[in-house]
Amino acid sequence: MHKYEIRILREDGGTALLVAATYPNDTIALSVARKFAGSHNFELWRGMSCISGTEGATVVYLSTSNLARAR
């Protein structure tokens, strides 16, 4: 079982809805993401890996010290 995030996107590309769930594999998670998204664009993430979604999606890595300062 893997943890996934499904990000349903607004027209401007921002996140409108975030769903976190556990699925046995990418295929099932992608099927569920498509159902959640309907006609909206979406991204499917497994950890820091974008499995499906916006072309050129980027991840910003924060070091532990930067994360502590952000709080």
Residue partners of 30: CB distance under 8 A and separation at least 6: 44, 51, 52
Provide the pLDDT for residue 43.
93
Confidence (pLDDT) at 48: 86
Residue 18 has a pLDDT of: 92
Using alpha carbons only, how large is the chain's radius of gyration in Å?
13
User: What pLDDT, on the 0 to 100 scale, is given for residue 12?
Assistant: 86
Mean per-residue pLDDT pooled into runs of 10, the chain (71 residues): 94 89 96 93 91 64 49 48
Give the DSSP H or E segment for 70: helix 64-70
Residues in the chain: 71
- What confidence score (pLDDT) does residue 33 get? 94
Phi, psi torsion values for 29, nearest 5 degrees: -60, -40
